[in-house]
Structure 1
C-alpha cells in the first residue's frame, strides 16, 4: 500500500483528542431482530430524516427503489470499533449527512455541507449540528477502501477535505474523534439531489430582507418571501457571498433557515402520512444518494419514522458547532473547546439542546409557525449593564395586524425603554420578528430581545441601521412577549419553529 499526506491544513494541535476506539453513547443495545427485508429498512432509514431536512423514502415499490443505492464503508479510522446496531425503539441514533459539490458528472473531494443529525432515544428531540467547511480539526489515518492508499493522520487539517481521504468514512472517523460520539450512519447526496428534491416538494419558502443578486452562485431573489426550487434552491444553500458578512457563518444560517422551513412544510402538509408523496420523493432522492454499508441492516425504521412525525418543532434544533478563528490563519476556524464541550456532552448523554413547551396547544394560524407552542412568559431576565432608558429603539409593524407596534411599544415603555418610538407600518409584511442593530448597539439590541423573549437568532447586525430597530413580524402577532419557540441557550442556530430571514451581504 502507498502512503501520502493529505494536502489540506497544517499547524499545531491544541488539546489532544482521546482515543474513540471504545467510546460509545449510552443506551446502546445490540439488535438481534434484523430481518431479510433490507430494502424496506433502508428506505425507512431515509424517511426518518425528513424532519431534519434530509431525504425521504416511501415504503412502496421496494424492488424498484432498491437498485438506486450506492454504498461505502461507514468508518475508515484505524482502530475504531464498528458502530453497534441500534435498536430504533430504545437507542439514540446519529446520522452524518454530507452534501458534496459534485455536479454534471464531475467528481468532488470535498464535502460542501456537513451536518450531524442526532435523534434522541425517545425521539422527542432532534439536533442537527452544522460543521463549517473552513473548520480545521485533527484528521485520523484513513485507508481508501478502493485503492488501498493510506492517508496519514494530521494534527490539524480541513474537515471538508477528509472526504478526499478515502470517502465519507474518513469524515465520520474525524467527527467521532472530535465529538466523542460513535456515528451510526451516513448519507451523502450531491447537488442534483438538492435540486430535484426541492422540485418534488413544490418549492421551499425562504425570506430575505433585501433583494439578493449573487452572480457567483446564481441566486437572484426579491426582498420578502419567495418559494425556491431547482437551481434557485441550490443557489440559496450554496451562496457564500450573498448573505451576512459574505462568509460561511451567513451561509450556514441560510441553510438552517431553509431546512427549518422544509420541516415546517413537510409537517404542515402531512407528507409522512401520504404514501404517493413519499414514493415521489423516494424516486427523486435515491438516484443521488450514497449510504454506508450497514444502513440496510437497521431493523424497524418504519416505526422510527412514525414516531418522528409527531416531534415538536421547538425541539428540532439546528445549531452550529462553536468555533473561533485559527490564530495562524484567520480565514480558517478551529473548535472553541470550552463552548463546544457542553454540546458534545449533551449529544453523548442523549440530551436535547432546545427547551420548548410541549404541553401547550399549537400556535394560532396567524403566527405563521404551525405546531409551535403557545405563548409563555419568558424566564427571568438576568441583570445586565444595559440601562433600558438609554436604548434608542424604533418599532415598526410588519405583522399584518393593525396596531401591533403601539401594543409592543406600550409594554417596552412599562419596562423602562423610555426612548422607544413607534415608526408605523413597515413597507411589507414579514413572517419573522427581527431586531436590527447598528455597530456598537449589540448589547442594547440583546436587552430588547431578552425583554420581549425574542430568540437571539432574530437579532441581526445591520450596516445601514443606527441604534436599534425592531420589526414586529407575523410570529409576534399577539401578546406582550413572544411565545416560546425553543431556547438554544448560548448556541448559535434556530429551531424548526422559528421563522428567520436572511440579510443580503453588505446590508
Structure 2
C-alpha cells in the first residue's frame, strides 16, 4: 500500500508523482487519484513572483493502481522508490535527504555536453552515460527484503500468520479478527527464553462462497481440527500435537467476554467430546485453550483459528501444494477426485483432501488426522521453497488470503506482533518439525466404539517430553548435551550391582497431587514387580515438586533396582551418610512429577513406540 491509496498526499512516491513532458522539456506532476491534492512541482515552487507558470499537461494514470501487486510501491513491483513528504507551511514537496528531484536530473543531463566540450561526440558520450545510469538494474527494495527475510514459518502457522509476517503494512491489520480470551493465554511465549505453545484450530464453520454445502451449514464452528504447536526454547525444533476431535476429556469452566464487555462463565463438562470445547454453549477459543492446558499440562500462550475458506484461499495463493496417493480416490462425500501418485491441489480439491475420511485407512477420524498431517507437511515444504519466497506476487496474495481467514487472540492481534512471531520461528528446519497424534485407546465404557480416551501410559509419556522440552526429532546439539549430562549422572549414582526385587524394602509416601498414589504404587510394585517387602506410609509431611528416594549406603543395590523399576532419574536418588540397621526400609516419596503407577517418573529420552508420527520434511503417500 503506498500513500496515494491511503489518501495521504504528504507521503507520495516521487517515482509515481513526476512525469516528463516532451512538449516543454520539463517534469510535471501527473494527476493523482480523486480526493488527493497534487503537490506543486519544484519548478513551479521556485519561480519568481509574478512569473507565469507553465501550464500542466494531463496524463492518464497507470492502470496499475498504487498498492496493488505489480504497481510501483507495491510488493509485486520491481522497485519501491523513496517516499516524499509535504511541508504543511509552504505546501511544497520536500525531497528526502539524498534524493534527486526530476529537474535536477534534467539540468545535469543538459550540462553534460558542455563539460564534454560541446562537441557532438561529447554530447553522445554524455547521453550514453545518462542512458547507462537510467538502465542500471534496481536494487531490491526494503519491502522485498522483508518478504524474503521473514519467509520460513511452519505450515499451519503459515496458514494462520506467516503471510502476514511477510508484508509489514497496516492494511492487513484491518483483515485480522481478534478474540479477547482473558487469562486463558498468558500473552507470553515468544520474545522470551522459554518454549512457545500456540493452539492452531481449524473449525467446521461453513463461511465463504460455496462452503455452505459441506455438512452442517449452520454449525457455529467447533474444534474440528486442533494442533498444539510446541516450539522449543532454543527455536531449533517443533512438535505439532494433533488432538482428535472425538477425544473424551474434561472441559473446565470458561469465562468468556460478551459483546457488551461483560464476562460470562460457561459451565464446564466432565467426560465431553473435545470438539465441543469450542462453539458449544457459547464457548470461545479461550475455552479450548483451557481444555488443552488441563489435558496436557502445558501452558497455551496464544491461539490462531481458521475456517474452511482458509484452506481454499491459501493453497490457491501459492499455486497449489503437492500430495501423494497410494491409490486413486473418488469420494462422493468430500468430492475428492485424484489419481494415484503425486498431484498438485488447490482450492476446492485441497479442502476436499483434508476433509476426506471414508477413502483412507479404516475411515476413522484418526486416519483423517494422518492425511491432514501429510498435507500440512507438504505446505511447509511449499512455503519454504524458493518458488514461494522469491515471488512477491504470491506473497502478497498469501498475505491477503491468510489475514482475511485468520482469527487470533488479542495478544498477537496486530501485524507487528505476528511479524515478530514469524521472524522468531522462521529458522526452524522442516526436518526438525514432527507431527504426532495424541496416543489414544477406544473408550472402554462404550459398546459401540465411537470415541477415544488418552492412552493411560503413552499419553503421559508424550506430555512429559513436551513439558520438558524434549524434541521428537533428531536435533544433534540437544541430543549430545542430554546424553553427556545423563551419562555423568548415571555413572555417579546408578553404576553397580542391583538387588533382587524380592529383597527391596521400601516405604512409599504420597507427596504429590494424585490422591491414592502411594497405595496404587504399592499395589503395582507388589503385584507386578515382585517387590513384596514394601509398605504404604500414607501422605508425606509436605508436598514435593520431584519424587525422591532416600536410602542408606548399604541399601545402594536396592535403590538401583527400585530406580530401574520406577524409571527414576539419577537426580531422584538421595544417599544418606549412615548405614541402615536391621530391616529398616528405604523411603520413596512421590512428588508432583509422579504421573501414575508404572509410568516412568523421568521424561523418556525417546518417544513411546508405535505412536503415529509424520516428519515435516518427508512426503508420504496416503493409503
> Which TM bucket (shorter chain)?
0.5 to 0.7
2:618 to 498, 502, 507: 498
Q: Residue 54 of structure 1 aligns to a residue in which SS?
A: helix
* Whole-angstrom distance in 2 between the partners of 1:286 and 1:247: 32
Shift of 1:58: 3.9
- Superposed CA deviations along residues 450-481 of structure 1, whole A, max 9, x for unmatched, are xxxxxxxxxxxxxxxxxxxxxxxxxxxxxxxx
1:62 to 165, 169, 174: 169
Shift of 1:300: 6.8
TM-score, length-scaled by structure 1? 0.60
Give the match for residue 267 of structure 2. Answer: 152
2:351 to 234, 248, 263: 234
1:102 and 2:217 are equivalent in the alignment: no
Q: 1:309 to 1:109 in 2, by over 3 A?
A: closer
Give the match for residue 290 of structure 1. Answer: 407
Shift of 1:108: 2.1
Q: Residue 159 of structure 2 aligns to a residue in which SS?
A: coil
Deviates more, 1:53-62 or 1:337-346: 53-62
- Superposed CA deviations along residues 162-212 of structure 1, whole A, max 9, x for unmatched, are 102421110000001111111111011011111000101111111111111
Q: 1:69 to 1:241 in 2, by over 3 A?
A: same
Give the match for residue 215 of structure 1. Answer: 332
2:241 to 129, 133, 136: 129
- Is the CA contact 2:331–2:337 (under 8 Å) kept in the aligned structure 1? yes
Give the match for residue 30 of structure 2. Answer: none
* Whole-angstrom distance in 2 between the partners of 1:52 and 1:300: 14
> In proportion to residue count, which structure has more helix?
2
* Whole-angstrom distance in 2 between the partners of 1:65 and 1:298: 7
Give the match for residue 113 of structure 1. Answer: 225
Q: Residue 458 of structure 2 aligns to a residue in which SS?
A: helix
Shift of 1:268: 2.6
Shift of 1:110: 1.2
Q: 1:180 to 1:299 in 2, by over 3 A?
A: farther
Shift of 1:85: 2.3
Alignment of 1:252-331 (within 5 A): 252-269=369-386, 271-272=388-389, 275-296=392-413, 302=419, 305-306=422-423, 308-329=425-446, 330-331=449-450
Give the match for residue 351 of structure 1. Answer: 470
Q: Which has the larger radius of gyration?
A: 2
Greater relative contact order, per chain length (Cα 8 Å cut-off, separation 6+): 1
Q: Residue 95 of structure 1 aligns to a residue in which SS?
A: strand
Shift of 1:239: 1.1
- Is the CA contact 2:222–2:278 (under 8 Å) kept in the aligned structure 1? yes
- Is the CA contact 2:172–2:415 (under 8 Å) kept in the aligned structure 1? no
Q: 1:67 to 1:186 in 2, by over 3 A?
A: same
- Is the CA contact 1:88–1:300 (under 8 Å) kept in the aligned structure 2? no
Q: 1:52 to 1:489 in 2, by over 3 A?
A: farther
- Is the CA contact 1:52–1:128 (under 8 Å) kept in the aligned structure 2? no
Q: 1:188 to 1:307 in 2, by over 3 A?
A: closer
- Is the CA contact 1:272–1:278 (under 8 Å) kept in the aligned structure 2? yes
User: What is the root-mean-square deviation in Å for CA atoms of aligned residues?
Assistant: 2.9
| Contiguous gaps of at least 5 residues in structure 2 | 1-148, 209-217, 479-605
TM-score, length-scaled by structure 2? 0.49
- Is the CA contact 2:242–2:438 (under 8 Å) kept in the aligned structure 1? yes
- Is the CA contact 1:96–1:183 (under 8 Å) kept in the aligned structure 2? yes
| Contiguous gaps of at least 5 residues in structure 1 | 1-43, 360-486
Q: 1:46 to 1:135 in 2, by over 3 A?
A: farther
- Superposed CA deviations along residues 468-499 of structure 1, whole A, max 9, x for unmatched, are xxxxxxxxxxxxxxxxxxx9652311111222
